[in-house]
Amino acid sequence: MPRATTQIAAGAALLAFVFCASVGLALGVREPSVHDEFANLLAGDTFAHGRLANPTPPAWHHFETPHVFFTPSYASKYPPGPGFTLALGQTAGHPILGVWLGTALLCGALAWMLAASFSARWVALGGLLSILLFAGAGYWSQSYWGGSLAGAGGALVWGAARRWCDGGAARNAALFAVGLVILALSRPFEGLVISLPAVAAVLGSFVVAERETPGEGLARVRRFSRATLPILLAWVAFMGLYNARTTGDPLRLPYQHHEELYATVPLFSFDSARPAPTYRHDELRRFHEDFEGRWLDEQGRVNTAWLDPTKLRRAASFFIGFPGVLAFLALPFALRGRWLWLALAGVAAGSGATVYLATYGGMPHQIAPLAAPLIWLEVACLRRWASLPVRWIGLAVVAIVLLGLADQSLRHVGRHPRSDDHWSTQRARIVGQLEALPSRDLVVVRYGPRHNIHQEWVYNAASLDAAEVVWARSMGPERDAALLEAFSGRRAWRLRVGANSFAPELEPLR
Q: How far apart are the C-alpha atoms of 16 and 12, rounded to whole Å?
A: 6
- Is pLDDT at 122 greater than 70 in this prediction? yes
Task: Check if the beta carbon of residue 61 is closer than 8 Å to that of residue 54.
Answer: no
pLDDT of residue 413: 66
Q: How far apart are the C-alpha atoms of 473 and 308, rounded to whole Å?
A: 38
- Is pLDDT at 143 greater than 90 in this prediction? yes
pLDDT digits (tens, 9 = 90+) for 38-79: 999 999 999 999 999 999 999 999 999 999 999 999 999 999
pLDDT averaged over every residue in the chain: 91
- Is pLDDT at 306 greater than 70 in this prediction? no
Residue 384, C-beta contacts closer than 8 angstroms, at least 6 positions apart: 330, 333, 334
- Is pLDDT at 5 greater than 60 in this prediction? yes
- Is pLDDT at 348 greater than 70 in this prediction? yes
Alpha helix segments (H runs only) across 59-169: 81-92, 95-114, 120-134, 139-142, 148-167
pLDDT digits (tens, 9 = 90+) for 164-185: 999 889 999 999 999 999 999 9
Phi-psi region of 362 (alpha: psi -120 to 50; beta: other; left: phi over 0): left
Lowest-confidence region among 155-159, 237-241, 405-409: 405-409
Please list the residues that pair with 210 across neighbouring strands: none
Most confident of the following: 293-302, 304-313, 333-342: 333-342
pLDDT digits (tens, 9 = 90+) for 432-454: 999 999 999 999 999 988 899 99
Residue 481, C-beta contacts closer than 8 angstroms, at least 6 positions apart: none
- Structure-model confidence comparison of residues 373 and 291, the more confident one: 373
pLDDT of residue 409: 80
- Structure-model confidence comparison of residues 137 and 229, the more confident one: 229
pLDDT digits (tens, 9 = 90+) for 464-476: 999 999 999 999 9
- Torsion angle of C-alpha atoms 90, 93, 95, 96, degrees rounded to 10: -160
Task: Check if the beta carbon of residue 373 is closer than 8 Å to that of residue 194.
Answer: yes
pLDDT band at residue 257 under the 50/70/90 scheme: very high
When pLDDT is averaged across residues 81-99 and rounded to a whole number, the result is 98
Q: How far apart are the C-alpha atoms of 373 and 343, rounded to whole Å?
A: 5
Q: How far apart are the C-alpha atoms of 164 and 223, rounded to whole Å?
A: 11
Residue 252, C-beta contacts closer than 8 angstroms, at least 6 positions apart: 243
Q: How far apart are the C-alpha atoms of 223 and 216, rounded to whole Å?
A: 10
pLDDT of residue 341: 96
Closest Cα partner for 488 from 441, 446, 444, 445? 441
First-to-last alpha carbon distance for the chain, in angstroms, is 66
pLDDT digits (tens, 9 = 90+) for 398-442: 999 999 988 888 776 655 555 566 889 999 999 999 999 999 999
pLDDT of residue 43: 98
Q: How far apart are the C-alpha atoms of 483 and 61, rounded to whole Å?
A: 10
HSE of 490, CA atoms in CB hemisphere, 13 A: 25
- Is pLDDT at 500 greater than 80 in this prediction? no
Burial (0-12, 13-18, 19+ Cβ within 10 Å), 120 = middle
pLDDT of residue 293: 82
Q: How far apart are the C-alpha atoms of 123 and 129, rounded to whole Å?
A: 10
Amino acid identity at 30: R
The share of the chain scoring above pLDDT 90, in percent, equals 75
Dmax over Cα atoms in the chain, in whole Å?
Answer: 81
Q: How far apart are the C-alpha atoms of 504 and 487, rounded to whole Å?
A: 23
Q: How far apart are the C-alpha atoms of 394 and 388, rounded to whole Å?
A: 6
pLDDT of residue 315: 81
Task: Check if the beta carbon of residue 254 is closer than 8 Å to that of residue 247.
Answer: yes
pLDDT band at residue 205 under the 50/70/90 scheme: very high
Count of helices and strands (H, E) across the chain = 21, 6
Lowest-confidence region among 94-108, 195-209, 491-505: 491-505
Phi-psi region of 28 (alpha: psi -120 to 50; beta: other; left: phi over 0): left
Q: How far apart are the C-alpha atoms of 411 and 434, rounded to whole Å?
A: 36
- Is pLDDT at 106 greater than 60 in this prediction? yes
